[in-house]
Copies of this chain bind each other. A is one copy, B any other.
Amino acid sequence: MAARSLTLTALAGLPLVGPGDDLAALIVAALRRNAISPEDGDILVIAQKVVSKAEGRLADLRSVTPSPRAVALAKEVGKDARVVEVILSESSEVVRHRAGVLVVAHRLGFVMANAGVDQSNVGGEEHVLLLPRDPDASAAALKAALDREFDAELGIVINDSFGRAWRNGVVGVALGAAGVPSLRDMIGEPDLFGRPLRVTTVAVADELAAAASLLMGQGAEGLPVVHVRGLVCDAPALPAAALLRPKHMDLFR
């Protein structure tokens, strides 16, 4: 097998993104400034925060009246009851909670802390940022705009950082994807000795999300777009929703 390599470049100079901004146009401009001309098979990993901001996914806490359930839960976990109200409104289920921790199933199926509701980097004490309404659709729209601009078949991953069961620390995870084999099924491919492999389905979009996260820097919004070149993968494209294990198949909630 020949050597293969993967190059990830975090784009410099993307401006702060605000509600209503044309994110695809901002990314195109940043790619040009960074002298990157995307080609077929290249992938752009984009931080959830800038997608949510461009989509105006802000909630104003001053207009939130917490329900009795939110007030009670807020006391238990030690959070602002209005934020807990927003979290619950974004969630289908509280999976675990204790002081400082609120793990929920987001209405889209992500099991994650606080339903992704985020108070950092929003630029106002009284606002919180929500996940995009439909991250796979956001990725598909960005793909359509960028494919057209560069006359190429690109992949898009929208990533966020999630905590995990059993392991410390957060890692980059795919919330949305388009033009990318989010899951790559390798069940049945023979190993080097011809013995059929029993498993293995690889969460390619999550690995891309994690790889890009190494360059983005947590919390900062300075480097929210990472260009990836070199992924060799001819598996069919699947949205990031394919990464979600249905509850009835899940042993851990």
Contacts and interface: CB of A to CB of B under 8 A. Distances in A.
A42 interface: no
Given A166-B250, A191-B120, A210-B171, A186 B3 contact: no
B192 A170 contact: no
Interface stretch (A55-63, A65-73, A137-145, A200-208): A200-208
Contacts of A172: 207, 210
Interface string A184-206: 10100101110101111111101
Contact of A243 (B120, B169, B243): B169
A248 interface: no
B5 A198 contact: no
27 contacts: A6-B211, A8-B8, A96-B252, A111-B165, A121-B192, A164-B165, A165-B165, A165-B251, A165-B252, A165-B253, A166-B244, A166-B250, A167-B206, A168-B201, A168-B243, A168-B244, A169-B183, A169-B184, A191-B221, A200-B218, A200-B219, A202-B213, A202-B218, A207-B211, A207-B214, A210-B210, A210-B211
Interface of A: 1-12, 16, 34, 96, 98, 101, 103, 110-111, 119-123, 125, 161, 164-173, 183-184, 186, 189, 191-193, 195, 197-204, 206-208, 210-211, 213-215, 218-223, 231, 242-245, 250-253
